[in-house]
Structure 1
Amino acid sequence: MGSFNFINMKLNAKISSVILFFILLAVKNVNAQYQFIPDEKGKLITDKRYENIEGSAYLYADWKLGEVITNENKLIQNLSLKYDQVTDNLLFQANGASYEFKPKVKSFVIKSGTASKRYIYLTPESGSGNAGYYEVLADGKFKVYKKVKKTLLEAKGYNSANLNKVIDENKKYYYLKNTKLEEFKINKKSLETILANHKSQLDTYLSANKSLKNEEDLVELFKFLNQ
């Protein structure tokens, strides 16, 4: 029985190696300029800054299934992804090793259960002022994006010499207007400003006793506008 298990382990290791080889080969064939850079030991990319911290530097703490579209519009599916919102880097995992997309991909999707989040990479030329990955909340005639920037903060605790590490999260919303991204808040006054040319549609939505208190309400509003 021991010999049988050992043979199975060796067989499984060989199968995993073959799968990894073909994944990397497929990616290489898609675009030679894309590099998947592991750490020097070929293990999971880690950062000591993220050890013993309160909160998570990532969109999801665990690896999630997803897909990417390269700058050449090539689709790569069934990847294990993790999005670092401190460094704004997208990581890809295969066979226990972690890699970083360089250069940035055009867009990517990360799935968690039934939820699916789509991100696109915007540059200053896109009007955002800050290049990076933005989550797509509404797409169509009316486009809305969300940018979450996480920062690692260090401070000494009260009457203590030890440093406490905590992740601070900053969330902003943007509306694409005349090729420029305009920041706004989720409230009636702010939305009336960015939708000044569509006030009648906004009033129609609000007259149906629709609320504008949170992100879910915002998404529903722009689903209505994009009908």
Structure 2
Amino acid sequence: MKTLALRFSLALLVSCLFGLQAMAQFTHTNDMEARPVHEYNTITMIGSPYLHKEWAKGTLTLKNGTVYQGIDLMYDQVKDAIVFRTQKGEVKELLEPVQEFKIGYIESNKQMERTFRSGYTGEGLSANAFLEVLADGQVSLLKRTSKKIFDRKHYSSATIDREVQASEDYYIAVGDKAVKVKKTKNSLLTAIPDKKDYLETYIKSNALNLREDRDMAKLVAYYNSL
């Protein structure tokens, strides 16, 4: 009986410790290192510097393991920075190193859930660059979207148009090592060559269009299932 009581007490202690650790992960945004944001004048801008031009709910996972949930987020793809809104309504740019963030919003009456991750090494990438995870597993399909703002002045006019232009790069990653790929069958199969015959059959039987993100993700997901 004493042995059973001792085991029960130890189990209860371990459960409490794990509970305290989990509670410690969900902290308030006031604890985050951040700075005020100089917001864009998007009224006269063609295109948007943000992933989604309105506030959306998201989850942040810092590189130290701390998790923040239910935060109002925007992802600035010009600065490659996360912008959040405090409970007081202050708009700030996050300075903490982020491992991953997830953001959800409605677009064209469809619920969107998107995940972005940093920490990859590869051509044209810095360790802090955020890449969208299109397919995850032993092999990941990643998308890097970069935006730039251009000012264009019309001939014989004082009017200046401000326009946002986006460029996209794709990567196949194993662990944190990412290899840039093109949206073609040859490029993708070169990056993951060990199951080429299976993948070619899957592409043909499912009529995949590898110019589309969705079909590229299907191919990598199938690879991970083999």
* Alpha-carbon shift at residue 225 of structure 1 (Å): 1.4
The residue identity in structure 2 corresponding to 1:130 is L
* 1:163 and 2:160 matched: yes
The residue identity in structure 2 corresponding to 1:26 is H
Aligned counterparts of 2:96 and 2:219: Cα–Cα separation in 1: 35
Match of 1:214 among 202, 212, 215: 212
SS in 1 for 2:201: helix
Aligned counterparts of 1:145 and 1:194: Cα–Cα separation in 2: 13
* Alpha-carbon shift at residue 153 of structure 1 (Å): 0.6
Residue identity over aligned pairs, in percent, reads 27
* Alpha-carbon shift at residue 28 of structure 1 (Å): 5.3
The residue identity in structure 2 corresponding to 1:38 is P
* Alpha-carbon shift at residue 157 of structure 1 (Å): 1.7
Aligned counterparts of 1:130 and 1:142: Cα–Cα separation in 2: 18
The structure-2 alpha-carbon separation of the partners of 1:179 and 1:25, relative to structure 1 and needing over 3 Å to count, comes to: closer
**Matched ranges for 1:2-151 at <5 A:** 26-27=28-29, 34-39=32-37, 45-48=38-41, 50=42, 52-94=44-86, 95-113=88-106, 114-122=111-119, 126-131=121-126, 132-151=129-148
The structure-2 alpha-carbon separation of the partners of 1:159 and 1:141, relative to structure 1 and needing over 3 Å to count, comes to: same
SS in 2 for 1:145: strand
The structure-2 alpha-carbon separation of the partners of 1:96 and 1:26, relative to structure 1 and needing over 3 Å to count, comes to: closer
* Alpha-carbon shift at residue 196 of structure 1 (Å): 2.0
Question: Structure 1: 5+ residue runs without aligned partners?
Answer: 1-23, 40-44
Aligned counterparts of 1:157 and 1:194: Cα–Cα separation in 2: 44
SS in 2 for 1:106: strand
Give the equivalent residue in structure 1 for 2:171: 174
The residue identity in structure 2 corresponding to 1:225 is Y
* Alpha-carbon shift at residue 82 of structure 1 (Å): 0.3
* Alpha-carbon shift at residue 25 of structure 1 (Å): 6.8
What TM-score do you get using the length of structure 2 for normalisation?
A: 0.77
* Stretches (4+) displaced over 6 A: none
